[in-house]
Structure 1
Amino acid sequence: MVLQTALALVFPALVVTAALRDLTSYTIPNWISLALLAAFIPAALAFGLPLPVIGQHAAVFGATLVAGMAMFALGWIGGGDAKLFAAAGLWLGWPAGLTFLIITALAGGALAVALLAARSSFLQPLLNIGPAWLGRLATPGENVPYGVAICVGALVAFPHSALMPVF
């Protein structure tokens, strides 16, 4: 039970870490996505996921990897976002992967609207008096830290995953 709880906390801890890093530096280090990938099998084994369910998780990983690569190629998201998107898809599986996709898209839209407001001539001066990363968020034409939206989608979908323990 302690091992299961510890492994279940890996996912939310790492996606929140990724979101904070993306928000403050516009980068998601590779080690975060790699840690998510590496921790999946021990978590799946600890929770006793049957092989067909692990296969479903792998299929969602493949689909989210292809989708993330396509979004990266189109310039919609960064490379770190694409890797985080795929690693989160592995943990979420099906049907939580569908919830993840929908909530991530909605959160991304809300994030874009919030950044447009922050980058307005009215709010931008207020945000420039804070930390440098906040001023960068308020800079017109700057990128969108999409890792934040991925985090929101992942955290909303995680309770519906086979890897979420029932206590």
Structure 2
Amino acid sequence: MIEAAILIVFPFAMAFAGVSDLLSMTIQNRVSIILLLSFAMLAPLTGMPWDIYGLHFAAGAAVLAVTFLLFATGTMGGGDAKLMTATAVWIGWNMELAGYLLILSLLGGALTLAILRYRSSHVAIVYAGRFEFMHRLAQKNEGVPYGVALGAAGFLVFPSSPMCMWVVGRLAHV
């Protein structure tokens, strides 16, 4: 049961955040809250040592400190900052966190370039009138739905995260 929860909660939250941000330019607070609370409840049930458990929250605190500064300067949205923090808690203080930050930076940069290209193309004129979210993406004064990159990076790093590796180890012994 714990294994199923781990394999469902994190990927579903990442997918939901990415799609939600793409369609509405918002990442709901409940996504980050669900990630934090589910990690807090599930991680001790995996037998994770308390010092490692604490380091997962330290990773979240470090990411929160940086993203709070980015939010305060208007560089990052609040939903993005909260989702990055919750994701860092799931990943932990390890090389996977560095990989996550690198991957999300690359994906976010590519996403930003793609949206800027879209905004200056004739395609935006054709599709912006058909779908509300395409219209929003075409607006030059709108931001970038960075939750798409956050969710995709989470998907890419999750298989090597400690929680997922624990599940793999458990299933290998069944």
**TM norm structure 2:** 0.90
Question: 2:95 & 2:57 partners in 1: Cα distance?
Answer: 13
**TM norm structure 1:** 0.93
Secondary structure of 2:38 counterpart:
helix
Q: CA deviation at 1:13?
A: 0.4
Aligned partner of 2:79 in structure 1 is: 80
Aligned partner of 1:63 in structure 2 is: 62
Secondary structure of 2:141 counterpart:
coil
Supply the AA of the counterpart residue of 1:35: I
Structure 1, gaps ≥5 residues long: none
Q: CA deviation at 1:136?
A: 0.8
Would you say the 8 A contact 2:6–2:163 is kept in 1? no
Deviations 1:61-92 (A, max 9, x none): 11111121121122121111111110000001
Supply the AA of the counterpart residue of 2:101: L
Q: CA deviation at 1:130?
A: 2.6
Supply the AA of the counterpart residue of 1:155: F
Question: 1:47 & 1:127 partners in 2: Cα distance?
Answer: 47
Q: CA deviation at 1:160?
A: 1.6
- Deviation above 6 Å: which 4+ runs of structure 1? none
Would you say the 8 A contact 2:136–2:142 is kept in 1? yes
Structure 2, gaps ≥5 residues long: none
Supply the AA of the counterpart residue of 1:31: R
Question: 1:76 & 1:12 partners in 2: Cα distance?
Answer: 26
Aligned partner of 2:43 in structure 1 is: 44
Q: CA deviation at 1:115?
A: 0.3
Question: 1:105 & 1:59 partners in 2: Cα distance?
Answer: 21
Question: 1:89 & 1:131 partners in 2: Cα distance?
Answer: 33
Would you say the 8 A contact 1:4–1:43 is kept in 2? no
- Size of the alignment, in residue pairs? 166
Question: 1:53 & 1:161 partners in 2: Cα distance?
Answer: 13
Q: CA deviation at 1:16?
A: 1.1
Q: Percent identity?
A: 37
What's the C-alpha RMSD, in Å, of the aligned pairs?
Answer: 1.3
